[in-house]
Every structure is written in structure tokens, then in C-alpha cells.
Chain A
Amino acid sequence: MSGTAGQVICCKAAVAWEAGKPLVIEEVEVAPPQAMEVRLKILYTSLCHTDVYFWEAKGQTPLFPRIFGHEAGGIVESVGEGVTDLKPGDHVLPIFTGECKDCAHCKSEESNLCDLLRINTDRGVMIHDGKSRFTIKGKPVYHFLGTSTFSEYTVVHVGCVAKINPLAPLDKVCVLSCGISTGLGATLNVAKPTKGSTVAVFGLGAVGLAAAEGARIAGASRIIGVDLNPKRYEDAKKFGVTDFVNPKDHEKSVQEVIVEMTGGGVDRSLECTGNVNAMISAFECVHDGWGVAVIVGVPNKDDVFKTHPINLLNERTLKGTFFGNYKPRSDIPAVVEKYMNKELEVEKFITHSVPFSEINKAFEYMLNGEGLRCIIHMEP
């Protein structure tokens, strides 16, 4: 039982005061968890592009000051009223989307879009009382995605916390709380390539490489990586990618190139860039009769997906996915187990490591397109 239960905790947090400006390590007050909330001690966190996107806040309603961060691993410090599934000391991954286990989505075998706790990028407060649990000298600092893991302590709704194997090294499995699971699940849960099949992956960042990793695990015979940046190919081989196509190298459309390479099209494709033209290519490059294209990357608000309907009548399937179709509490612990039994390799996604005080370096690496995941150590 923690000595801090029920009390405000003073700790360090990396606060974004203004859009696009470096984060500042500040002393913040973290209120105790209220009903159905838990307070976590964050041990490791990593930077995901979605943090960068909302920190830059281009073309959105800016919400500042704010504590970003949503990929992390930590330990439960204390629980609020009504929480029975977690207790202090549990090892957990906080997740930016939740699972109340009561709504029609949570009860459906297929969906992970919980009515109560699904991702909300606009909200900066807790659902329970519409207030923030973070303050600096009494002034509130906004939450992000209900996680805000760039802080030594954070408060999260219990529905957004996955309890995992306490033996799992948190500095590795923290990356499973967003990007890697998103890509992995897109392949394993949605595209579901069969052993020996062919797969195309558009976008070879962390999500795309996780999708490729999923195809490798599933036994795909060819994994074609599509990216505009030729430097990505060498690293992509570690994730099972067997062929590389750079759309810039060809005059014809990339879907035509892929169709030619594969005698009619790939069995499965995964689109992991968010670029709407890549989405269309990903759809049109799968084989008629049985091909399935899975769209992962988040597009811009005003983008339009356009294709000729004959592509659908030729028995292609187009599916979208969100967070790999994993239910956060029900499914993520099993993903951690895949790592523990060595079916899934996570180390190769981690290319950098910095102490909390140097968190802004993680942003620099990402903005330069350098590396895949940078782990931020909260403890010095």
C-alpha cells in the first residue's frame, strides 16, 4: 500500500506550453484518482507521431498547456473508488483508447471502438468531473488522449489500462501501447494473411514495420515494402520485408507496378501512411477474387477516398482498422505474451534511448525521420 494514496503527488512532468515549442520539465501536482480512475507511476514512455502531430497543432484547435505522451509502461500507485480490476503494484500499459466492457462495441467480438472511452483528441480533462488532475500552482494543465505519460505520475480511467505480465520488461513493452500494436494487429487481426501469401505494406515507419512484422509472423512468402524514402529499405529487411518499391522510381502508378510484380496483385495490403493516394493504391494493388486491403494510417480531414466501383465488384475487400482492432484490456496482455514467448520481436523497433530530462531529443529524432522508437527513461 502506497504512502501517497489519497494525497496529491508533486512530481516532474514535461509540459508543452505552446504549440511546436520544446517541452519544459516542470514540477506539477497530480491529484489522487477519482471514481473509476487509477494513478500510475510511469517508468518508461516513448514518442509516437500522434504526439508530435497534436503538439504541432497545425490546423486544429490548440489546447495548451498540455502534457502529451501515450505510449508508456508503468506501475499502479493507487486506485479510485469502484476500481476492482487493478491494485497498487500491478504492471500496466496505459492506452489512448479504452474498453468499458459494457457498451455494444465492447461486447461485440469485432469492435474495439468503446462508446465511452474511444479515442478523443479534443478532450483535455477527465470524464468523471470534466476537470484535469494536473495543476501547476493551482492552474490546470490539460490531459492528452486520457494518458499524458510525459509525467512521472499520471491519472487514467481504469478502462484505459491494460494489466500485463509483471515479468515483462517495461522499457521494451511500453511501445506496445500504441504504434507497434496498431501495425501488428492490422495484419494479424484484420488483414490476416495466410502462410505463403503475399503482402504489400505502404509506409515503412514504426507502424508499417510492425505491420510487416505481423506478416512475417503469419508466414507470408513475400512482403513488399512501399516507401518514398529509399533509406528505409535496409532496416525494413529486419522486419521481414523482401521487396522494396519506391513510387518515385516508376512512371506508372505503384498499384500497376505491384500488380505486375505479383501476377495480378498481392493477397493483402496494409496502408500505414495516412496519405489518401497511398490508400487508393493499397486498395487497387490487391488481387481480384480474394484480395483484402487494410487502411491504418489516419488521413487529413478533407481527404476523399476514390476508386472505381468495379474494383469492389471484382471481389476485393476494403477494411479499416483502429489500434490493430485490439481491445485494450482484453487483448493487449496477450500481445505482451507474444513478446515474452519470443514470437514477436520488439527490440528492433527501439533505436534510441534518452533520460526524461532530454525528452526534446526524442522529438528531434522523429522530426528528422531518424530511427523508429526512442525510449524515455523517467528515472535518472
Chain B
Amino acid sequence: MSGTAGQVIRCKAAVAWEAGKPLVIEEVEVAPPQAMEVRLKILFTSLCHTDVYFWEAKGQTPLFPRIFGHEAGGIVESVGEGVTDLQPGDHVLPVFTGECKDCRHCKSEESNMCDLLRINTDRGVMLNDNKSRFSINGKPIYHFVGTSTFSEYTVVHVGCVAKINPAAPLDKVCVLSCGISTGLGATLNVARPWKGSSVAIFGLGAVGLAMSSTAGQVIRCKAAVAWEAGKPLVIEEVEVAPPQVMEVRLKILFTSLCHTDVYFWEAKGQTPLFPRIFGHEAGGIVESVGEGVTDLQPGDHVLPVFTGECKECRHCKSEESNMCDLLRINTDRGVMLSDNKSRFSINGKPIYHFVGTSTFSEYTVVHVGCVAKINPAAPLDKVCVLSCGISTGLGATLNVAKPWKGSSVAIFGLGAVGLAAAEGARIAGASRIIGIDLNPKRFNDAKKFGVTEFVNPKDHDKPVQEVIAEMTDGGVDRSVECTGNVNAMISAFECVHDGWGVAVLVGVPNKDDSFKTHPVNLLNERTLKGTFFGNYKPRSDLPSVVEKYMNKELELEKFITHEVPFAEINKAFEYMLSGDGLRCIIRMNA
């Protein structure tokens, strides 16, 4: 369910204030859809000569200010009363002429000139109430042919909306909502030339387009390839093979950089595996599915996850564990499980996968067990961050540490994972959230995530666990360790209160580190727990984390500090290596 349903949306629209004058991008208010109307989010629109003709308004009664546009592709944001054929998330083409399905024209096999909804170039308001759904500071802006697609959001009669295949690329098929279909249909439906006949075409404007489905075929697309450890990624054209048994091919719309990508890209002290496509925090749409896949279909909105859930092994069946025997994280593997081969190639040469996701690519192939199907109304450019770091920290607190309302919590490490853990403590109602970090610059931002106090171990002579025990009359109720530094782990354990304290370790240590404590710290009834990916089962639990965001319990925007287009993906690495910001969203579509 969309967070904007029933509310006025403020968005940008290109308003024609006067005939023939350049359109001005204005902030407009778009009212919610009324009975038999739908509100659409327009993703792509194209210009057709009819827009120009009425914008020039020579020899007609001018109707201004007006929002033009009638060739477009978009997604349903919300529906008005009585609408049953469409639901939020549907991919659609708004059309300048409609089909009520009730009148004699609609019932005729031959006619498309619906009595109720046929094209009307004079009308600038909605049929329902003769009013516009657009306004600027309360002053109405006129509609155009019932579509007005030169606006981020528009309101349209349900009879003027064609619901289409969600796997169809909207930036291509939007042209089918006017000119191309007009010409194509004129030939195929009306002129109907037979094979071998001769045809004369008067006017060589827009040309008919053929729509092809990509299912079952190799897709050529862009991917950011790491050819060598530590060297900038290169945008290459790669071939992405279709999904095999129990696999799905995803179109990635947004991805973000997580430190684990950087760690394996630097490949210090590990067996390097190159060339490789990194990336494991992302949001996308299913393009096609392989044999045996029943839980997903093309068009589903999904988060690919670096660890999976087969739903059959003892771990998946256990209420507690998320460490699937088949699909648990594997940082060494660079190929798909079903045939030990990669689905990526450049001129036939394989490119390795990374943790089964490889989201730094316009298309990727993933095991179905590693894909979480989410609410299609969730903005993928925000919730993509939930497929790794944020959920890891959030779940460490909410699922494992489980602080009660009013309790005290210490968070070690105020990067994205630590701040997500703090956010979890804020959501749980902790009364004190003590943030520990060696970098004092992190404290100010940390306040947005509920952190109430800050301790810098460098500022004290005594160990930080003693400082915390003093601040809290014996120790905190819960601590969450999010740095991976083994000394911080020991401090996190020793700073919780005896009798009931629980310390949760999140950060991944170096191979040779050793956790050391005096056993009396355990005998004094402290508990030490580890966690992995917030103890969330990817398929079963992530969708509900998305819902926490949708119902505004969880805030994500504050984690997103930067945004770059795919072509500039290396900037995301620079930000992270400089310790700049938290999450940088990489937009795949320019």
C-alpha cells in the first residue's frame, strides 16, 4: 500500500503558461484520484505532434495554463473508488482516448470510439466533477486529452489506462500509447496488407515499432566490471545468460555500495577472483524466471540478498537460524550453484559473480532462494539499502539484543551498520543509546539515529568498558558491536550489566583474531551472542522490514547521503574510502 494514497502529492510538472512559450517546470499539487480514476507515477513520456499543435494553439480557443503530454509509460500509484481492474504497482500506458467497456462502441468488435471517453481536446477537467486534479497554490491547471503526462504524477480515468506486461521496458513502450500504435494499427488492423502485397505510405514520421520479449535470450547490457583488485571499475557491455533451474534474472534499478564489496574488491590477504562483478545491496524487478521457479514472476519487485533461504534445510526450518545450509553466504564462489558456471560473459569469457548477487550490472542472475519479494509500492531507491547493512544492524538489535522500552544500549561503531543498530534501539524505545567510536565527527549525525551520548575510547585512560559501567551504574542492559575489531568485541561484552546484560557481536573480525575474556564475566550472568544478517531469514523476513519502512516505523532516508548515476559508480567507492557519508545510491537508469 502506497504511503501517498489518499493524499495530495506535490511534484514537478512542465506547465505551459501561454501558447507557444517554453514549458516551465513547476511544483504542482496533484489531488488523489476520485471515483473511477487512478493516479499514475509517470516514468517516461514522449512528445507527439498533437501536443505541439495544441500547445501552439493557433486558430483554437486557447486553454491555459495546461499540462500537455499523452504518450507515456508509468506505474499506478493509487486508485479511486470503484476501480477494480488496476492496483498500485501495475505498469500502464495512459491513453488519450478511452474504453469504458459498456457502450455500443466498446462492445463492437470494430470500433474504438468509446461514447464516454473518446478523445476530447477541448476538455481540461475530469469528467467526474468537472474539476482539475492539478493546482499550483490552489489555482487550477488544465488537463490535456485526459492524460497530462508531462508531470511526475497525473490523474486519469481508469478507462483510459492500458495495463501492460510489467517486464516491458517503459522507456521504450511509452511510444505505443499514441503515434506508433496509430500507424501500426492503421496497417495491421485496417489496411491489412497480405504477404507479398504492395503498400504506399504517405508521410514518413514515426515508424512502427516491434516489441520483443527478452525472456529466454541472452541480454546485452552494461555492468561495472572489476578487472583487478583495487582498480576502478570499468563500465563494460556484458552478456547475461538466461536463468537456469531455480534461478531468476533481475533488472537492477538501484544498488548501493557496502563495505563488504570494497573489502573483496581490495582483496588484501585473500585469494583474488577477477574479473568480477561486485554489488549486493540492490532493488530491482524480475525480468524472467528459470525452470522450477514458482514463487516469483516477471514484474515482481525484489531485493536480491547475499545469503539465501532454501526453506528446506534444518537451518531454514529452525525458528532461530538464518544460516541456510545450501545458500548461506559464500565469498569464495564466483559461479552459480546449478552448473558451476557464470551467467556473465564478455565476448564469451566468463566474469565471476560475487556472493550470488552481482548487482553492479543492469541485469543479473540470482538463485531464487536469494530473492526477497517485496511490496511493489516501496520505492526501490530507498529500500535497496535493506538488502544488507541496514538490516544487519537493525536485526542485531530487534531480533537478537532485544532491548526493552526504557533500557540502556551501547553501540560500538557508528558506521551504517552501527547506526542501523542504534535505529533499532530507538524503535524499541531504549532510554539511553550510547555510541562508541574513535571518530568524533560521527556523533552529530548519530543523534539522528537515536544516539543520546557519545564515548570516544581515545578520550579516556581507563578501558572503555569501565567508562560505560561507570556511566550506567554497573553496565548497560544491551550492547551491540558493529566494528569487527576484536578489542571492541571484548569491551562490548564486558560493559553489559551483570545479572541480565546481553552483548551482541555483529562486526566480522579478521581471521586470526581471538576473543578473550575472564570466565567470571560469564558466571556473573552476562550473555554473549553472535548474529548474522540481523538473524533475518531473507525471503521470510525482509518483506516485513520493508513494511516497517512503509508504515514509517523505520526511517531510511537518513542513511542515504549520496547518489550517483551508474556511469559514475567509482565515486561511490571514493566516498566510502574517504569515510564520507553512509550510503550512496547508484541509479542504474542514467
Does B516 sit at the interface, judged by CB under 8 A?
A: yes
- The answer to whether B522 touches A320, judged by C-beta atoms less than 8 angstroms apart, is yes
Does B121 sit at the interface, judged by CB under 8 A?
A: no
- The answer to whether B323 touches A314, judged by C-beta atoms less than 8 angstroms apart, is yes
A69 to chain B, nearest CB (A): 22
- The answer to whether A309 touches B489, judged by C-beta atoms less than 8 angstroms apart, is yes
Does B165 sit at the interface, judged by CB under 8 A?
A: no
Find chain B residues with CB under 8 A from A303 CB.
518-519
- The answer to whether B515 touches A313, judged by C-beta atoms less than 8 angstroms apart, is no
- The answer to whether A317 touches B519, judged by C-beta atoms less than 8 angstroms apart, is no
Does A367 sit at the interface, judged by CB under 8 A?
A: no
Does A329 sit at the interface, judged by CB under 8 A?
A: no
Q: Are A309 and B505 also in contact (CB < 8 A) when A314-B532, A319-B528 are?
A: yes
Within 8 A of B (CB), among A286-341: 288-290, 295-296, 298-299, 303-322, 325
- The answer to whether A289 touches B315, judged by C-beta atoms less than 8 angstroms apart, is yes
A169 to chain B, nearest CB (A): 31
B153 to chain A, nearest CB (A): 45
> Smallest CB-CB separation from B477: which chain A residue?
A108
Does B87 sit at the interface, judged by CB under 8 A?
A: no
State the CA gap A305–B500 with chains docked (Å): 20
Does B509 sit at the interface, judged by CB under 8 A?
A: yes
Interface 1/0 per residue, A109-131 and B, CB below 8 Å = 01111000000000000000000
- The answer to whether B500 touches A304, judged by C-beta atoms less than 8 angstroms apart, is no
Does B514 sit at the interface, judged by CB under 8 A?
A: yes
> Smallest CB-CB separation from A304: which chain B residue?
B516
> Smallest CB-CB separation from B510: which chain A residue?
A309
Find chain A residues with CB under 8 A from B56 CB.
none
Interface of A is mostly: loop
Interface 1/0 per residue, B452-485 and A, CB below 8 Å = 0000000000000000000000100000000000
Does A352 sit at the interface, judged by CB under 8 A?
A: no
- The answer to whether B526 touches A320, judged by C-beta atoms less than 8 angstroms apart, is yes
Interface of B is mostly: loop
Q: Are A308 and B515 also in contact (CB < 8 A) when A108-B500, A289-B320, A315-B320 are?
A: yes
- The answer to whether B518 touches A318, judged by C-beta atoms less than 8 angstroms apart, is no
Does B524 sit at the interface, judged by CB under 8 A?
A: yes
State the CA gap A325–B525 with chains docked (Å): 8
- The residue in B519, B530, B531 that gathers the most chain A C-beta atoms within 10 A of its C-beta is B519
Q: Are A315 and B531 also in contact (CB < 8 A) when A289-B315, A290-B320 are?
A: yes
- The answer to whether A317 touches B528, judged by C-beta atoms less than 8 angstroms apart, is yes
State the CA gap A105–B526 with chains docked (Å): 13
State the CA gap A111–B524 with chains docked (Å): 9
Find chain A residues with CB under 8 A from B516 CB.
304-306
State the CA gap A298–B505 with chains docked (Å): 24
- The answer to whether A317 touches B524, judged by C-beta atoms less than 8 angstroms apart, is no
Does B520 sit at the interface, judged by CB under 8 A?
A: yes
Does A354 sit at the interface, judged by CB under 8 A?
A: no
- The answer to whether A312 touches B522, judged by C-beta atoms less than 8 angstroms apart, is no
Does A42 sit at the interface, judged by CB under 8 A?
A: no
- The answer to whether A319 touches B527, judged by C-beta atoms less than 8 angstroms apart, is yes
Query: Assuming A311-B530, A315-B535, what are 16 further A-B pairs, CB within 8 angstroms?
Result: A108-B500, A111-B499, A113-B524, A289-B321, A299-B518, A299-B520, A305-B516, A305-B518, A306-B516, A308-B513, A309-B486, A310-B509, A313-B530, A315-B529, A316-B529, A319-B526
8 cross-chain pairs, A with B, having the tightest CB-CB distances, nearest first:
A111-B499, A289-B321, A320-B522, A312-B530, A110-B500, A309-B509, A299-B519, A318-B528
Binding site for A on B (CB under 8 A): 314-315, 318, 320-323, 474, 486, 489, 498-500, 505-506, 508-509, 513-532, 535
Sample (6) of A-B pairs whose CB atoms are under 8 Å apart: A105-B499, A108-B500, A113-B499, A315-B323, A319-B525, A320-B519
